[in-house]
Amino acid sequence: MNGEQTMLTFSGVTKQFIGPGGDVCAVNDISLTVRPGELVTVQGPSGSGKTTLLLMAGGLLTPSKGTVAFDKQDLYGMSANQRTDLRARRMGFVFQQFHLIPYLTVRGNILSPAGACRRPDARSRAQELIEHFKLEHRAKHVPSQLSTGERQRTALARALLNRPAVILADEPTGNLDRENAEIVLNYLNEFAANGGAILLVTHDVRVESFASRMLHMDEGRISKA
């Protein structure tokens, strides 16, 4: 596989937390790659290390050992400002709890990452996403006026505003019914089909039919599902 493009590469990554009862190893010597066009899912019980893995992938949590590379660049060899800039330009985040800004409209939430990159096409891109996610009739509504599915579609549109290379998703279907979960998974599958890379952590077995690769995580270690 020499020369094959990778978007995320974990090499011997371990993360330990110091607690009152001693060290806790949340992620234990993991090596993993995520390539363009892949939707890689990591499933496992609560406390298995899935969210810790995702935070390290996003440059938000420094490993105790090993390296995390984004497009062959060592994430934690960068300065904090460089990582922040990289996240703004090339990563999209989707969460179970949406994390929408409550006083902004759908349009405002989708546009909220634009300031970090000063995209000249931000407004036209936002309109394109509003139409793509069928949110035209909700564009001027705030999150409290949206259904659960509409909130998640807004969050996904926001993640795509800056045309990221990677989406990091934490339980993106956890709060959704079957119909809305399938809608969101179809959109994620479309992103991967167009060359994006996705690392998705979840308990939801509904994601299995959309995954390029399924991994299982338990006690900080990864195996094939």
End-to-end CA distance of the chain: 22
103 phi/psi in degrees, rounded to 5 = -95, 0
159: its two tokens: 């993640």
The answer to the question of residue 4 being in a domain is: no
The answer to the question of residue 176 being in a domain is: yes
The answer to the question of residue 110 being in a domain is: yes
The answer to the question of residue 174 being in a domain is: yes
205 alpha-carbon distance from chain centroid: 18
From CA 143, how far away is CA 155, in angstroms rounded? 10
Q: What is the CATH number of the domain that holds 177?
A: 3.40.50.300
Please give the pLDDT value at position 225: 55
The answer to the question of residue 44 being in a domain is: yes
Please give the pLDDT value at position 1: 38
Distances (CA, A) of 154 to 12, 67, 133, 157, 171: 36, 33, 8, 5, 15
The answer to the question of residue 2 being in a domain is: no
For 179-210, b where at least 16 C-beta lie within 10 A, e where not — what string? ebbebbbebbbebbeeebbbbbbbebeebeeb
207: its two tokens: 């994601």
Domain containing residue 185: 35-59+90-224
List per-residue pLDDT tens for the chain, 225 residues long. 344 789 999 999 999 998 787 788 999 999 999 999 999 999 988 889 999 999 999 999 999 999 999 999 999 999 999 999 999 999 999 988 889 999 999 999 999 988 666 677 899 999 999 999 999 999 999 999 999 999 999 999 999 999 999 999 999 998 899 999 999 999 999 999 999 999 999 988 889 999 999 999 999 999 875
Tally the domains of the chain.
1
The answer to the question of residue 141 being in a domain is: yes
Contacts of residue 139, Cβ cutoff 8 Å, sequence gap at least 6: 105, 106, 107, 130
**Amino acid (one-letter) located at 71:** D
The answer to the question of residue 23 being in a domain is: no
